[in-house]
Amino acid sequence: MTKLSRRALIRTGLAAGAAVAATRCASPKAEAPSGTPANPATSPEVNTNQTKDVTLRLIGTGVSQINEIRKKAEEDLGFKIETRALSTEENNQIAITQPGQYDLFDGEYFSLPLVVPSGNLQPIDISKIKEFANIVPIFTENKFDGAKVENAQGTYPYKVMYVKDQDSKEFASEATGWATLIPFQYNADTLGYRPDLVGGTKITSWAQLFDPEFKGKTSILDIPSIGIMDAAMVTESAGLVKFGDKGNMTKAEIDQVTDILKEQKKNGQFRAFWKTFDESVNLMSSGEVVLQSMWSPAVTAVRSKGVECIYAPLKEGYRAWGGGVGLSKNLSGIQLDAAYEYLNWMLDGWMGAFLGRQGYYSAVPENAQKFMSPAEWDFWYEGKPAAEDMVDPFGKTLEKKGAVRDGGSFKERMGNVVVWNSTMEEQVYLVKKWNEFIAS
């Protein structure tokens, strides 16, 4: 008897489900297929444009909603994937208020205290994730480099990794069999700068974002939950504010930070505020700003344009974040099976290697390594000089032979994380005060 892989079985099931749908559609008394304008349902079972396939709708930010990834997933998995690239705020809003608009949610762990209580994500059965035991233990075991992580500030992923049971909307303090998201990328973020435009000054501290030398040439990102973290790193480094916990500020601390930001804005320190990946790339590559909040692949994108840009390893450490994919509560049957196949696919290694060439870290590094050359692995993960030119996923040269990754190795970078992106207890107040700053 021929053995079929789970993936092959799902493809067979998709085809069978499509045949049933086609038969129903042929009947004059049959209802319109679920999910069409004539019968708008929250969870379509088939894509009526191509009934041979199920279509999974994935929402996320532009950081990972990349056509090459979508096409590779469709090629490997045999079903369609529709992606929507949104801002962080839009992504969270849809996840919370419009569960019928998505099947897969690609979001950050700091968003989960907002999204999970809505009940719109169904807990993930970790027994169905074949590589779960190999995911970096930052997420699954509260460990880094073999040691327990103590007193992590911000929304540390392990704090929101698990829910209590299959039907729960409450986070579990210890590991359970039910996860919120399956991680696939994460990073340690810092400031980016143009070495050719800072007058020979080496950027070594977060405090330099407020340096009068760069007046009118700096930027900070306009996403309240993340921007406030960068502002906290800057103000603390400058000796202006002393925090109890930067990841969970008091109202008084929020007032201090936002008052300082307003003063800096009034004095003309900032050139602009950005919300999206592309905005940050354009600001830096055009030379409008010389020092700003940045994400690693944005630095990569600037370099790919032939513009020198450095992701500064600052002495105070990094602000970290982690992203993963969760399941809509509306998924069931063959669509749910297909969604689990996508979760497993994204840990297989190809996607991790693709994103790794932009500077992200994979949730299962050993699998990503299988799809990277020894030179790529040594440069991106080990912090060794490039044995050959480093090329991004789109074929553009990022670094010449001999270059070393900004900040060094995986252990050096992730081992120097000070705070994680966060949703705070005073989140509503924070957003109010942040918006006052932006509007000031």
Distance CA 375, CA 434 (A): 43
> What pLDDT does residue 44 have?
36
> What pLDDT does residue 88 have?
86
> What pLDDT does residue 28 have?
33
Sign (positive/negative) of CA torsion 413, 418, 424, 427? negative
Structure tokens at 164: 């209590």
Over the chain, what is the mean pLDDT?
A: 88
Kindly report, residue by residue over 377-407, the tens digit of the pLDDT.
999 999 999 999 999 898 988 889 999 999 9
Residues of the chain with CATH 3.40.190.10: 51-186+321-366, 190-318+372-439
Per the CB < 8 A criterion, the answer to whether 367 and 347 are in contact is: yes
> What pLDDT does residue 8 have?
52
Sign (positive/negative) of CA torsion 208, 210, 211, 214? positive
Which residue from 304, 286, 280 is spatially nearest to 389, judged by alpha carbons?
A: 304
**Rounded to the nearest 10 degrees, how much is the dihedral formed by the CA atoms of 297, 301, 304, 305?**
-160
Which pTM was predicted? 0.84
> What pLDDT does residue 48 have?
35
CATH number of 51-186+321-366: 3.40.190.10
Kindly report, residue by residue over 33-92, the tens digit of the pLDDT.
332 222 333 333 333 333 247 999 999 987 778 999 999 999 999 999 999 999 888 999
The CATH topology of domain 190-318+372-439 is D-Maltodextrin-Binding Protein; domain 2 (3.40.190)
> What pLDDT does residue 427 have?
94
Residues of the chain with pLDDT under 70: 1-52
Cα–chain-centroid distance for residue 58? Answer: 14
User: How long, in residues, is the chain?
Assistant: 440
Residue with tokens 């109010």: 432
AA letter at 249: M
Q: In a 10 Å sphere around its CB, with 0-12 CB exposed, 13-18 middle and 19+ buried, how is residue 249 labelled? A: buried
